[in-house]
Structures are given as C-alpha cells and as structure tokens.
Amino acid sequence: MAPLRKPKLAVWKFASCDGCQLSLLDCEDEILALADTIDIAHFPEFSRRVTRGRYDLSLVEGSITTTHDRTRIQDIRRRSKKLVTIGACATAGGIQALRNGRNLTEFISVVYAHPEYIDALATSTPISDHVKVDFELRGCPIDKAQLLETILAFLHGRRPSISTTSVCTECKARGTVCIMTAKGAPCLGPVTHAGCGAICPAYDRACYGCFGPMESPNTTSLAKQWSALGAPRDQIARAFSTFNVAAPAFEKTARAHADKDN
C-alpha cells in the first residue's frame, strides 16, 4: 500500500534556540524509519539537500520578531498543505516575548555594540498571530514522542493524540505524589499543558510551566493558593513570566502580580 510519492516534510526556523527542531534529530531510533516514510525535503539541520517548492507538512519553530520573518511565514504558509508550529516560541512568542510592552530601543542599545544593525519588531508573536496554523505542539522544548505522534498523525490523516489537560493528569498517571499538596511547593502543574510526562515533579521540582497554559487555566485561583502557601507577589509574577509569558492566561496573572514600574 505504498503511496504514489512520499509526503514532503519541511522544517523552518524563526526566532528560537533550535532546541525544538533538534528534538527531531534526537529521534535517533526512529529517524531512519521516518526518512523511509517521508521525504525530508527541507531541514537544513539534517541535510544540505534542500528540495524547493511545496510541502505536505511544515514544522515551524520560533516566533515572529522581524519584518523579514513576517513576510517569510506568509510564503511558507502558501507552500505548505499543513502547518504545525512546534515549541513555546512558535506557539506563544517564547521567552523573547518578555520585550513586549517594554522599550525595545533601550534593550537594543544595551545589548548590541552596533544597534544600527538591528531591525526588529517591537513584539515577539506566535506564528498563529500571522497565519492559519493546523496544529500547535507545546513545550520548551517539545517532547520528541509527541513530535513523532504529530508527524504520524498527519501522515495518516488522523488527529494527533495529544492531551490538552493539566500536567497533574500525568503526575497522577505515573503515581507521583503531589508536591504542592504534600510539600507546599509552588507548582504550575495544575494550569500547565500536559505533554512532558510530568518530569519535574517526579524529581521533586515544581513544574515551571514550560508547556504553557492548559486548555482551561485558572491561573487566578492558583496564584491565590500560592499566596496562601507563602509565595511573595514577585515570585508569582516571575513564575508566569518565562517561556510562555505572552500566552494570555499567563500574561494576565504575571501582570496582576507585577510591580507598577515593571
């Protein structure tokens, strides 16, 4: 039942650290079998061989931070049958979205020796702010098993089996004792999107929300409980101001706990 031609996969990078697309290279046991199934047509981190034209599935990493990228994503969308964004930068704007609403010119003047070389937008925004996205894969970085599942689902024309509930569901499935309840740890698990397999709490570390908000995040209620457990306001503001700071539910609670001059 081999298809007439192998579907074409492309991987694109925008403002990001590369970690998410490297998750595809991390699929060491599966990547050769995957290459048998699909034509990895555009993935510069994987091969210099680049096939131009149209693609069946585009994986997009990174956020939009320049006028150049704002145009480039439109072109990629036009040439992609399906477009899936991967990681916190592509789905929420990433850590670089901390600059949103702040003075970019001042930042640039402090960071770069030649600020005149920098031509950046005032904001870092997710891909879905610019083009239609068929599916969003969360995480900083993404989980490679979820990436494979997503690719396979698109190959077979089914919906990816990716849960959108909280990290708590994964803690409970693996039998991890809740560190918020048993130790009073300020954990973001109850408002964070599942997918990592609840790694951090299993190693006695509170979830820090790298997968961004879950489907129905009640960040206000969680922040209130953190306060009751003794977390100061600035700790709450910082907890919601990391890789997914521009995700609306996190941004709202970060702002509500930020000092006025921030």
Partner 1 sequence: MGGTEADIDDFGGAFTLQRADFQALLDALSKLGYDIIAPTMKDGAIVYGAIRAVEELPIGWTDDQGPGRYRLSKRLDGALFGYAVGPHSWKKYLHPPERELWRAKRNGNAVTFKTKPPDKQKRAFLGVRACEIAAIDIQSRVFVDDLYSDESYETRRRNTMVIAVNCSSPAETCFCTSMDTGPAVSGGYDLLITEVVEENAHVFVMKAASNAGQAVLAQLPLKTASPADVASSRAVIRGAEQAISRTMDTEGLRELLQENPEHPQWDDVASRCLSCTNCTAVCPTCFCTTVADHTGLSGEESRRLQTWDSCFSGAFSELSGGSVRQSTKSRYRQWMTHKLSTWIDQFGASGCVGCGRCIAWCPVGIDITAEVTSLRAKPKKEA
Cα dihedral 115, 120, 122, 128, rounded to 10, equals -160
Q: What does residue 10 show for φ and ψ, rounded to 5 degrees?
A: -125, 145
Strands of the 80-86 sheet, one edge to the other: 39-42, 8-13, 55-61, 80-86, 135-137
Q: How far is the CB of 13 from partner 1 (least distance, A)?
A: 25
Distance CA(34)–CA(239), nearest Å, equals 37
* Total residues found in the chain within this entry: 262
Residue pair 168/153 in contact by the 8 Å Cβ criterion: no
Q: How far is the CB of 257 from partner 1 (least distance, A)?
A: 17
Tell me whether residue 93 or residue 217 sits nearer to partner 1 (CB atom).
Answer: 217
Tell me whether residue 7 or residue 19 sits nearer to partner 1 (CB atom).
Answer: 7
Q: Does residue 54 bind partner 1 (CB under 8 A)? A: no
Q: Does residue 235 bind partner 1 (CB under 8 A)? A: no
CA torsion through residues 226, 231, 233, 237, sign: negative
Distance CA(100)–CA(261), nearest Å, equals 15
Q: Does residue 254 bind partner 1 (CB under 8 A)? A: no
Q: How far is the CB of 117 from partner 1 (least distance, A)?
A: 44
Q: How far is the CB of 214 from partner 1 (least distance, A)?
A: 8
Distance CA(3)–CA(19), nearest Å, equals 32
One of 4, 5, 28, 33 touching partner 1 (CB under 8 A): 33
Q: How far is the CB of 215 from partner 1 (least distance, A)?
A: 5
Residue numbers 138-197 binding partner 1 by CB under 8 A: 148-149, 152-153, 155-156, 158, 161, 163-166, 168-169, 172-184, 187, 189-191
- What is the binding site for partner 1 (CB under 8 A)? 1, 30, 33-34, 36-37, 148-149, 152-153, 155-156, 158, 161, 163-166, 168-169, 172-184, 187, 189-191, 204, 214-216, 218, 220-222, 224-225
